[in-house]
Chains A and B, each alone.
Chain A
Amino acid sequence: MIKDITIGQYFPGKSPIHRMDPRVKILLTAAFIVMLFISNSLWGLLVGAAFTLITFLISRIPLKLMFKSLKPIIPIIIFTGILNLFFIKSGEPYFKWKVFQITDEGVSTAVFMAVRIICLIIGSSLLTYTTSPIDLTDAIERLLSPLKKIKVPVHELAMMMTIALRFIPTLIEETDKIMSAQKARGADMETGSIMKRAKALIPILVPLFVSSFRRAEELALAMECRCYHGGEGRTRMKQLHLSAVDGAAVCYMLAFFAGVIALNIIL
């Protein structure tokens, strides 16, 4: 059950998107988000949606995963949709009943927002689907490195992120194991009042905390044994290089971006 979490899941592949430099990928994702937000007409947004879909197809990630990544935000989409439908009072009303009314502007805004949120989620989950967590944190470290000048511990932050990501599956597995063990002793986590259920978490959380601290200590020791002393003078095994794919990706992005701006001006 908890093993089904897909946050930050990476699907190895060889598509052009996979081969891109992670730094470029992060920057283009940021550009993509900007693109979605500056497009002020439905047509401009459709260009953004087309971009999302085409990019997804290029990445050769199964379409099933696209829907899976949308699943947790369905309530948000419905909620904003309803708000927009009922609370936008301007425009031609289609339907009126007491204080409730649905106007054409309400409908178009509702659709507009929904499409925007969906594109946003799919586009950004594509980043984590096609980039391994290590590459991602590497790229973040490199992108943020100018901040080192103002004494921001960029390397340390990136290392912390890498370690946190690395331990998510381990902790999930550990939680599963502890839960099974306590269930074997008759722990009941599914029934009872909220208080009772909260109390039932103690036998799981205490061992989980204890083992996390133990793990952290062991890891720190192992890192020190290998002379880890922070980011200074540290070289990398895997160097990040820009390649032709990245150039192509930037051009591809620019084309769509220009399209959106053009539509904004025309309409």
Chain B
Amino acid sequence: MAVIKTENLTYIYGEGTPFEKRAVDDVSLEIGEGEMIGVIGHTGSGKSTLIQHFNGLLKPSSGSVYIDGEKLWEDKARLRAIRFKVGLVFQYPEYQLFEETCYKDIAFGPKNMGLSDAEIDERIKETAKMVGLSPELLDKSPFELSGGQKRRVAIAGVMAMRPKVLILDEPASGLDPKGREYILGMLKDYHTATKSTVMIVSHSMEDVARYADRILVMNKAKLYCLEETEKVFSRSEELMSMGLSVPQITRVFARLKEMGIEFNKDVYTTPYAVKLLLERLGQKEGLA
């Protein structure tokens, strides 16, 4: 069964005013349990608005959202429970830290769930390990940490709720390449370890291509497609006409194709490209 399902979801900002804007237009989709989804789209394409519907922060102007088969907004009192089920990490989450110590900040979500202190303690230790925060950092003020560490504390704060679905809006933006790599690798590990559904909104095609099973493309408030990663990047010309880039390596292979060197597979990650190229070179020169 689908964890997240939407039917004709539409959201209009400032309905009835001169500033009216259709941010999400007639989106119907289904996301299964344990999937790792990448969400891409141009700035203002409606991706952030879309994901805020999945945990009931925004109420659809029309259409409906189902989480685990349960229709949202039927019973407002259930929304809080839904928010524990679908964890949402906003862009630059480090600006939402507020407690005296990292430990207390990570505990905020689990405490709101009404868990026992022992359970909370266990969860904090577990998530801290998962995001790579050493135990001595937990007693420090979040404001003393580096940017990357703060971000990890903030993500841990949501992970500690053990949501069935974890959604992250640009989790790696504003970090240096090493920090990006670390956060994304950590999310992949989290996904493998917990088998939960993970959605990553990102501008970087490289990141999405490497980690996602399926990719959701938003274009001008509409769902452009939700398909397997290779299928999406095989339509690289369409993506580029929407103002989206494709991974650099895909572009290299598109140029190779233009030059008459054709590969029958679509390439979107560098290791795969290396493998393909080595095979091809081996064939040509007769080396085994």
- Contact across chains for B112 and A188 when beta carbons are under 8 A apart: yes
B149 within 8 A of A: no
Residues of A within 8 A of B55 (CB): 184
A266 within 8 A of B: no
Task: Select one of B95, B98, B158 contacting A184, CB under 8 A.
Answer: B158
Chain A binding site: helix, strand, loop or mixed by DSSP?
Answer: helix
Residues of A within 8 A of B97 (CB): 207
B28-36, B86-94, B244-252, B272-280 - interface stretch: B86-94
Shortest Cβ distance from residue B95 to the other chain A in the assembled complex, whole angstroms:
6
B171 within 8 A of A: no
A202 within 8 A of B: yes
Residues of B within 8 A of A210 (CB): 95, 143
Task: Select one of A178, A180, A185, A186 contacting B95, CB under 8 A.
Answer: A178
Task: Select one of A184, A187, A207 contacting B88, CB under 8 A.
Answer: A184
B109 within 8 A of A: yes
A181-B90 contact in complex given A186-B161, A188-B112, A210-B143, C-beta closer than 8 Å: yes
- Contact across chains for B161 and A185 when beta carbons are under 8 A apart: yes
A227 within 8 A of B: no
B93 to chain A: closest residue by CB: A181
- Contact across chains for B93 and A203 when beta carbons are under 8 A apart: no
Tally of B interface residues using CB under 8 Å: 23
A265 within 8 A of B: no
- Contact across chains for A203 and B108 when beta carbons are under 8 A apart: yes
In the assembled complex, the Cα of A16 lies from the Cα of B15 at a distance in Å of 31
- Contact across chains for B158 and A185 when beta carbons are under 8 A apart: yes
A207-B80 contact in complex given A180-B52, A186-B161, C-beta closer than 8 Å: no
Scan residues 135-189 of chain A and give those whose CB is less than 8 A from a CB of chain B. Answer: 177-178, 180-188
- Contact across chains for A180 and B57 when beta carbons are under 8 A apart: yes
B43 within 8 A of A: no
In the assembled complex, the Cα of A206 lies from the Cα of B87 at a distance in Å of 22
- Contact across chains for A181 and B98 when beta carbons are under 8 A apart: no
A211 within 8 A of B: yes
B96 within 8 A of A: yes
Task: Select one of B84, B95, B112 contacting A207, CB under 8 A.
Answer: B95
- Contact across chains for B98 and A207 when beta carbons are under 8 A apart: yes
Residues of B within 8 A of A206 (CB): 98
Residues of B within 8 A of A188 (CB): 80, 112
Task: Select one of A177, A185, A202 contacting B109, CB under 8 A.
Answer: A185
- Contact across chains for A184 and B143 when beta carbons are under 8 A apart: no
Residues of A within 8 A of B158 (CB): 184-185
In the assembled complex, the Cα of A210 lies from the Cα of B112 at a distance in Å of 23
Residues of B within 8 A of A185 (CB): 83, 108-109, 112, 157-158, 161
Task: Select one of A177, A181, A186, A202 contacting B112, CB under 8 A.
Answer: A186
- Contact across chains for A186 and B80 when beta carbons are under 8 A apart: yes
Question: Which of B109, B112, B161 counts the most A-chain CB atoms under 10 A from its CB?
Answer: B112
In the assembled complex, the Cα of A177 lies from the Cα of B91 at a distance in Å of 10
- Contact across chains for B83 and A183 when beta carbons are under 8 A apart: yes
Shortest Cβ distance from residue A205 to the other chain B in the assembled complex, whole angstroms:
8
- Contact across chains for A184 and B57 when beta carbons are under 8 A apart: yes
Shortest Cβ distance from residue A116 to the other chain B in the assembled complex, whole angstroms:
31
Task: Select one of B84, B96, B143 contacting A181, CB under 8 A.
Answer: B96
B256 within 8 A of A: no
Residues of A within 8 A of B281 (CB): none
- Contact across chains for B83 and A186 when beta carbons are under 8 A apart: yes
Residues of B within 8 A of A180 (CB): 52, 57, 90
- Contact across chains for B90 and A202 when beta carbons are under 8 A apart: no
In the assembled complex, the Cα of A58 lies from the Cα of B52 at a distance in Å of 43
Scan residues 73-110 of chain B and give those whose CB is less than 8 A from a CB of chain A. Answer: 80, 83-84, 87-90, 93, 95-98, 108-109
B113 within 8 A of A: yes
- Contact across chains for A207 and B83 when beta carbons are under 8 A apart: no
Question: Which of B83, B98, B108 counts the most A-chain CB atoms under 10 A from its CB?
Answer: B98
Residues of A within 8 A of B52 (CB): 180
B158 to chain A: closest residue by CB: A185
Task: Select one of A178, A184, A202, A203 contacting B83, CB under 8 A.
Answer: A184
| Chain A residues within CB distance 8 Å of chain B | 177-178, 180-188, 202-203, 206-207, 210-211
Given contacts A180-B90, A203-B108, 17 further A-B contacts (CB under 8 A): A177-B90, A178-B96, A183-B57, A183-B83, A184-B55, A184-B57, A184-B88, A184-B90, A186-B84, A186-B109, A186-B161, A187-B108, A188-B80, A188-B112, A203-B98, A210-B143, A211-B95
6 cross-chain CB contacts under 8 A: A178-B95, A184-B88, A185-B158, A186-B83, A188-B112, A207-B98
| Chain B residues within CB distance 8 Å of chain A | 52, 55, 57, 80, 83-84, 87-90, 93, 95-98, 108-109, 112-113, 143, 157-158, 161
